[in-house]
Structure 1
Amino acid sequence: MDFPTDLSDPRRLAGYASQISVVTVKSIRPGEERFGTPWTIADVRIELSLKGNQQGTISVLQQGGKRQSTGTAVRIGGDTPLVQGKSYLLSTTGTPGSNQTVIPVYGIKPLTTSDLEKLKTTGDTPADEVSDMRRAVTHQIPFTR
């Protein structure tokens, strides 16, 4: 996939994202197809916000899903599909107060149940993903749209 900046660099990802949060997926439903690509809508509960001011449960849009006409699964650039009940370190773009769009590939970091429990008790995860992203947010490289 082509992005307007190198999102493999966490500082650039932090500068590009409008919201970065640890979330738990509450529900998933199909969205509409746009230009032949199915979209998925996920309602997520924000467990911890690292960037942005959204709180509580919000809806996020993810490119890809099941094509309604054929039931064929479509993934964009090897993206990880969000799964109900699972937790993620999630980076999104969008206008605050509206649906956020998941940044494909680089904006989805799956977390295990033990990661989430450790985060709740110690403030970090075993692999330090949250600490690394906190540092990236602090030292983000702004993206000019």
Structure 2
Amino acid sequence: MKLWNSLLLAPAVLLCLGLAGCQDECESCEYGVPAAPYALRAELFRSGIHVTWKDASDNEEFFIVERAARSSARSRPESSAGSLATPSQPQAFGHHFLELVRLPRNSEDYLDTEVYVGMTYSYRIKAVNAAGSSTSEELEVAFP
């Protein structure tokens, strides 16, 4: 009987042996994919663009800040706030997003200092854990 019980438990043990930090991953997955950040805002400074958001989840492991860029010379929709940020539909910007930085859980802001005059940037934030990721709406900002 002991041999039979050992054989029944063996597959579960073998699955976990191959994964680093298996217990942590299993616990994160238990709660599912984190909720997407929301309420993205941006403020322009001489030193860069300060992007803020609201953390909607309590189970993210980290955040990823992504950015796409294009020249401001192309036409873009005007926002009611002038050159400040306006949320847009995903993929509306038409550029590939690149990862800028990974930030620790509970982060709600990032100062992007790698910006250039005459460029328009689109930002999005991902909340990530072992179960997957959720992406915020996009935020478009012109750096005059």
Q: Shared fold by TM > 0.5?
A: no
Give the shorter-chain TM-score range: under 0.3
Question: In terms of Rg, which structure is larger?
Answer: 2
TM-score, scaled to structure 2: 0.26
